[in-house]
Amino acid sequence: MSAPRGGRGRGRGRGRGRGDYYTPNDSQPQNQNQQPRQQAEPEGKNSTIELLKGFLQRRYDPSTKLLNFSAIATDEEVAKSGMFRQESTQKKFFPALMVVCDDMLETREAKEAAIESITLCGNNITNLNVVFDLCKTLNHIKNLDLSGNAFNSVNALKPWKGRFRKLEHLIIDPFSNIGWEEELTSWFPKLKILNGIQVRADKPAAGDASMVTDAPIAAEPTSTTGTPTPTPTLNSTFNQQQEEMIAYVQTATNLKRDYAVQCLEAGGWDLNRAGELFTQSQPTLPADAYN
């Protein structure tokens, strides 16, 4: 808004006298020039919000509760906007995306009910600068895929250390340094599956029968009671489509049900990802993983 061109000036001026130096006719062009500028900003903001809403809607699979943020730069609408073209704009894209996500799912309960898995694969990011805000808005997720990026070492993930307290399954390209699996596992207290391999077993609380279903799949080394029976999975936790996917994986891989379920959960209930995980972990799977 421009300052008024009126009031008392310094000195008396010439030929104008005191008072306002403009008439209503003088002010009209000024208001007309300001109005388009004032309207342009909200219109631009609204178009960005709609772009981000559309992106979230396209990338969300309600049947698997998966948000697919893979290869963001290849999304047609995002590519047109140029918002993910370079790191300087990428750093603005994800925080804005999380703000829109907050608006669409306003409560923590709504977020937890809608989203369990996120994939960020194939974005070729070298650090977490671009996507850091994910741990602020959706830190409740259980499954996370970070494969297909360009992290040089496990230290690139350190900004997320301890941030995802409920994360159970993580997929990431292996690092060359020894012991990275143990270090990464220590950062996430609930992590059970890393790249399709079980890295931690839940310990049921004493007398808590509800925790029995979270017991380890593999036999405990100290067991002296013969061959343990795999922990049963409650069928009621899976819908019909998921049951069909479990049966398909079992048929295709000859895996026992519990291992098939672990593969599918680690892959965010995506058959292609589950197949990739099985291929990656096949050399290390124990013999009793198969029927």
Q: What is the rounded distance in angstroms from the CA atom of residue 118 to the CA atom of residue 100?
A: 16
pLDDT at residue 113 tops 90: yes
- Number of independent structural domains in the chain: 2
* pLDDT tens digits, one per residue of 137-165: 999 999 999 999 999 999 999 999 999 99
**Inside any domain, residue 196:** yes
Sheet holding 197-198, edge to edge: 60-61, 66-68, 117-119, 143-145, 169-171, 193-194, 197-198
| Residue 245 and residue 169 in one domain | no
| Residue 155 and residue 290 in one domain | no
Contact 217, 259 (CB under 8 A): yes
Closest C-alpha among 55, 177, 73, 191 to residue 123: 73
**Inside any domain, residue 73:** yes
| Residue 91 and residue 146 in one domain | yes
pLDDT band for position 100 (cuts 50, 70, 90): very high
**Inside any domain, residue 61:** yes
**Inside any domain, residue 219:** no
Token pair, residue 269, equals 């209930």
Per-residue model confidence (pLDDT) at position 154? 94
pLDDT at residue 32 tops 80: no
pLDDT at residue 225 tops 80: no
Per-residue model confidence (pLDDT) at position 42? 58
Most confident of 194-208, 219-233, 257-271: 257-271
Domain around 253: 232-291
Token pair, residue 248, equals 């398909």
263: CATH: 1.10.8.10
In sequence order, the 6+-apart residues with CB closer than 8 A to the CB of 220 are 228
Q: What percent of the chain has pLDDT over 90?
A: 44
**What's the start-to-end Cα distance of the chain, in Å?**
75
State CA 119 to chain mean position distance.
6
Contact 192, 168 (CB under 8 A): yes
